A and B are shown apart, each in its own frame.
Chain A
């Protein structure tokens, strides 16, 4: 017992308590139910492209739009809420460093949110299994694991914002206005504007001023890199790669539509923009993992730097 206590890191009890707090609360389970309802979207094109593996695509649908909103909602108050209420005084009085507090918060919250979300994924899997037959269990696990990494990144960003703000209102503004709206929901629009303003569009795609749209997507690696800097698009680049539908941050069924059917559709894919030319190596789909890990580590690292130094009460 003593040996076990000595072996566990100092943040572990805090992380366990955080996870327990979420698992016994309603919020994460309501999110899980909503994700099942949101994610279950059988389509002809999905079936045409993936067959029974379409069920695994439901996980990606569940992981887009609603999941980041829910996870940020469950994370943005994690530190600042305790700071304003005064319960942070107990946590900071425990024998661990402030960095340990952040690590415990992020890992504990990640577990407390990832478990209900995994339950939602399994539910989608069971429904799909009954309706559409057996799918690849390995692929299912791969997409689920990607989703868990995505959840951890979002919890980390939410907690980082929570650790450096002094009011819950400001934390909410940064999480929803900044991270959710700019980087998740409308990132494509922002990326187009940024690229048109500062980017160097290759001459053949430039008509008059530099303009970008999905019908004349520039065969410029930097534009595609910019697009996938969004955590949501990075997650879909990674899961589209696992599903084998193409190199794109769009949803899997849209990517299938664009690449497998004669229908023209307003999304960006590396394949259609580069027309058989070799895209730069950094546009490999594994860049999705790298970007998710950056979202997991960089904001938290910055937050840790400030959280270690400031006055917290």
Chain B
């Protein structure tokens, strides 16, 4: 049996008064395309930040491709391609140099021209990223994540700032990378765009994984029609979870 691509146990992150992540139990098997969904502020980027060693957990453990993400940083990142959320590129560096830095650090034999061609930036290879539109920056970051054919692709809100062509491009990249055997873990709050690409979805709400499974399983369990979209599943689940939270809050108040 192979190790899971991502496995967390009791993963929690507390910021002063705010609980951003509360005991996350998540397993993503290798080769899967996993959609990590939730409204803004649910803790998706916090989770990805922890898995990428951008921040340290308050409690819990995690394994990424079998490595500890906070101590085996080098081994871990060698296998990961990351498209972060709310990033910025280097204004005075060309698209080519952005990719070259990743390739050189990973010791990968990458072809920047081919990668940029693939994301539709073939003409902009030697232009400084400072001149790029938001959509172009997003495409550049996607190309950077693909350098060195990573085993695990982590895409944080990959559809942000993209026009319909860009959205189609991300889907196409996810599909082809998945076919190659890459595990894809991506977060999104734009639900309509994920159902076609995901094997499995997990729904995060207020720092907790409220449910996960395939879309068809959700449909069956929640007694939705076959036409129900991720949107419907999502609204129903997060409503339930809000209901539960308010119920338990009321119970606590009554106890006092």
Tell me, yes or no, whether B82 is within 8 Å of chain A by CB. yes
Give chain A's interface residue range (CB within 8 Å of chain B).
20 to 34
Within the assembled complex, what's the spacing in Å between the Cα atoms of A16 and B93? 13
B75-93 residues with Cβ-Cβ distance < 8 A to A are: 75-78, 80, 82, 84, 86-90, 92-93
Q: Which residue of A lies closest to B53 (CB)?
A: A92
Q: Is the CB of A87 within 8 A of B74?
A: no
| The residue from B52, B53, B97 contacting A17, defined by CB atoms under 8 A apart | B97
Within the assembled complex, what's the spacing in Å between the Cα atoms of A300 and B86? 28
Tell me, yes or no, whether A208 is within 8 Å of chain B by CB. no
Contacts A17-B101, A92-B54, A95-B77; is A85 near B106 (CB within 8 Å)? no
| The residue from A6, A82, A89, A95 contacting B84, defined by CB atoms under 8 A apart | A89
Tell me, yes or no, whether B118 is within 8 Å of chain A by CB. no
Tell me, yes or no, whether B104 is within 8 Å of chain A by CB. yes
Within the assembled complex, what's the spacing in Å between the Cα atoms of A16 and B104? 10
Q: Interface on A for B, CB 8 Å cutoff? A: 2, 5-6, 10, 12-14, 16-17, 20-21, 24-25, 82, 85-87, 89-90, 92-98, 309-313
Q: Is the CB of B82 within 8 A of A93?
A: yes
By secondary structure, the A interface counts as: helix
Q: How many A-B residue pairs have CB under 8 A?
A: 86
Q: Is the CB of B52 within 8 A of A93?
A: yes
Within the assembled complex, what's the spacing in Å between the Cα atoms of A313 and B49? 7
| The residue from A25, A93, A96, A312 contacting B55, defined by CB atoms under 8 A apart | A312
Residues in A neighbouring B54, C-beta threshold 8 A: 89, 92, 311-313
Q: Is the CB of A10 within 8 A of B105?
A: yes
Q: Is the CB of B92 within 8 A of A10?
A: no
Which of A5, A95, A97 lies at the interface centre, i.e. has the most chain B CB atoms within 10 A of its CB?
A: A95
Within the assembled complex, what's the spacing in Å between the Cα atoms of A14 and B100? 10
Report the 4 A-B pairs with minimum CB-CB distance, sorted nearest first. Answer: A13-B104, A311-B55, A89-B84, A313-B54
